[in-house]
Structure 1
């Protein structure tokens, strides 16, 4: 058994940063989703040195874990250096808080210029960039940035011919709890229309449950008692991006998991062979893909973008996934043909191999080739 590997995914790197804010000051912020009043906030700011990427990159995606309880919030920005040597402006990559008590969690549209734009959670360069700086500003009191990372990648406009990578042929399956997003249809439609769109909250909840983490019962008291899994509703509420009007903002998902003591990052993986290495280490991988029904046999649906959890592999190398699009928890476990799954996940016209990894700090990851 061999699987397809998009040739354009070899150029990806994940940089991790230790954040130690030194610059202090105050700033006025008007929450566009608030009550219309400005508020002055004290802040602590950290700005990284310039980091060389090592190749001409077309996309940058930051992710973070932080403590930002009521009274605190975090703004993350990126500035890039183009291949011509010029510096871009600072682009806001997200304004994040654990709850909406003080500031509404949001991405920031409308930043596009000649150098690039921000597509929800991704800086998309108008022309390749070769270096960048990262800035994290923590507003208010009681907050703390625990980890910060940036994934830089070169995503080709036209995918190259596929290469082949061998499956391990070692069957393995992690015991990840199964959660259907469809059981939440109609729940709290103010957050991305309700459960029909909650693939990301359902997937994060499955992985949090696997690690024995998540909100305490008292934190779920606002959810109706007959809800099949209140933690999914909680995740949808606290991952919701008010500008994007969705629950699928990738860094916000990692940050949500970080509230419960997990480390995490968004990256691109180059093949299912890399996913196999995580599974062998006991770490499930959350993937993002889009496809028509016929492209992923056994799915039973088409999607312009969907999140699921890879939990294992069969002896033939096919993918065992917890797919939250199932109508009930009992149908969440799916086995998808390896080649088909890898194609719809890796192709540049889709997510290009996007993956979320969240894990306890004491669980070691497999040896990295630079992209985690």
Structure 2
């Protein structure tokens, strides 16, 4: 299930010391702090959830998204998904947290003990020199799957090939997420480089580059409409490809043999860009730009779809131009 609230619809929330200005929510004049609070959002039953936001900040301003869930008729406390400020000043969740009803990681909240969440409540705190908010969202593993629509057997063109390993970056082995995001941003015409995106996505709280909410927040800072989506199956990914939209996808490969052609195992997770699908000799393949390659020329790979789906975490980053609906 996806829930997205953006632009003018943000006025439907409680706004304290905030105002709507065109497509943004921003602080009222002469205020340096305010907050947005959603109504209680009833949902399909879920066991995991991930939040997203798009904002405009500077070195003197920040937004902080807090989220709580209801499970078994009890509410969890609010959990912060970090103080977000551009230029690498963002601070996410420093350590994993655990509560009676949930386990919290830098990317997701998991409902514990085979229980289910059924409602969500979000609060966004604004501080400093006029931060702006355009979108808040969350995605869960609840709800129904979607059918495949359109022709997805295609390979999208003009998506640059960028190898994280050949980038020369000091943290080349752990920048798969900003590398994948850079490829997606360049496809959409953003004049960015890998060093810039890596700086912007680095979580200064825990030193990680791969936090999902913070990567889509970085895309939002650059004027994109971006959010993290949990997919019930591969069908939504096929639908995005049919629409001409590449997606950044997260996999977790415990053993290299699980994904034929992979350069290595990725037991702690790995991000790559899905750019298409094809059938060869009656077998379906997923076509990706995999940044774990020794050169830019080796980034484009075709993986057996059946194998890839088994190591996929069912999460993707959706990054589109802001005019996309």
TM-score, structure 1 length as denominator? 0.75
Q: Compute the displacement of 1:196 (Å).
A: 1.0
Q: Quick check: 1:22 aligned with 2:35?
A: no
Question: Residues 288-314 of structure 1, C-alpha deviation per residue, up to 9 Å, x if partnerless?
Answer: 001121111111311111000000111
Which residue number corresponds to residue 107 of structure 2?
A: 121
Question: Residues 265-304 of structure 1, C-alpha deviation per residue, up to 9 Å, x if partnerless?
Answer: 1011233332121111110011000112111111131111
Which residue number corresponds to residue 212 of structure 2?
A: 250
Residue among 309, 316, 324 paired with 1:355: 316
Residue among 26, 32, 35 paired with 1:45: 35
Which residue number corresponds to residue 36 of structure 1?
A: none
Which residue number corresponds to residue 226 of structure 2?
A: 264
Find the aligned partners of 2:152 and 2:167 in 1 and give their Cα distance. Answer: 36
Question: What secondary structure, in the 3-state scheme, does the structure 1 residue paired with 2:323 have?
Answer: coil
Task: Tell me which moved more, 111-120 or 202-211.
Answer: 111-120
Give unmatched runs, 5+ long, in structure 1. Answer: 1-12, 26-40, 156-164, 189-193, 216-230, 346-350, 365-372
Question: Residues 178-202 of structure 1, C-alpha deviation per residue, up to 9 Å, x if partnerless?
Answer: 10000135x34xxxxx111110011
Q: Quick check: 1:202 aligned with 2:179?
A: yes
Residue among 298, 312, 325 paired with 2:261: 298
The aligned runs of 1:1-372 (5 Å cut-off) are 13-18=1-6, 19-20=10-11, 22-24=15-17, 42-55=32-45, 57-83=46-72, 85-100=73-88, 103-109=89-95, 111-126=97-112, 127-153=115-141, 170-185=153-168, 187-188=169-170, 194-215=171-192, 231-291=193-253, 292-304=255-267, 305-316=269-280, 317-345=284-312, 351=313, 353-364=314-325
Contact 1:169 1:315 in 2 (8 A): no
Find the aligned partners of 2:132 and 2:3 in 1 and give their Cα distance. Answer: 20
Aligned residues: CA RMSD: 2.3
Contact 2:82 2:90 in 1 (8 A): no
Structure 1 moving runs of 4+ over 4 Å: 165-169
Q: Compute the displacement of 1:168 (Å).
A: 6.2
Q: Compute the displacement of 1:250 (Å).
A: 0.2
Find the aligned partners of 1:298 and 1:110 in 2 and give their Cα distance. Answer: 33
Question: Residues 103-139 of structure 1, C-alpha deviation per residue, up to 9 Å, x if partnerless?
Answer: 5422243542212232112122223211010111111
Contact 2:156 2:246 in 1 (8 A): no
Find the aligned partners of 1:318 and 1:168 in 2 and give their Cα distance. Answer: 15
Contact 1:203 1:286 in 2 (8 A): yes
The size of the alignment, in residue pairs, is 297
Q: Compute the displacement of 1:167 (Å).
A: 11
Question: Residues 43-102 of structure 1, C-alpha deviation per residue, up to 9 Å, x if partnerless?
Answer: 1100100011122x221211011001121111110121112x1222111122111124xx
Q: 1:267 to 1:279 in 2, by over 3 A?
A: same
Q: Compute the displacement of 1:172 (Å).
A: 3.3
Structure with the largest fraction of strand: 2
TM-score, structure 2 length as denominator? 0.85
Question: What secondary structure, in the 3-state scheme, does the structure 2 residue paired with 1:173 have?
Answer: coil
Question: What secondary structure, in the 3-state scheme, does the structure 2 residue paired with 1:148 have?
Answer: strand
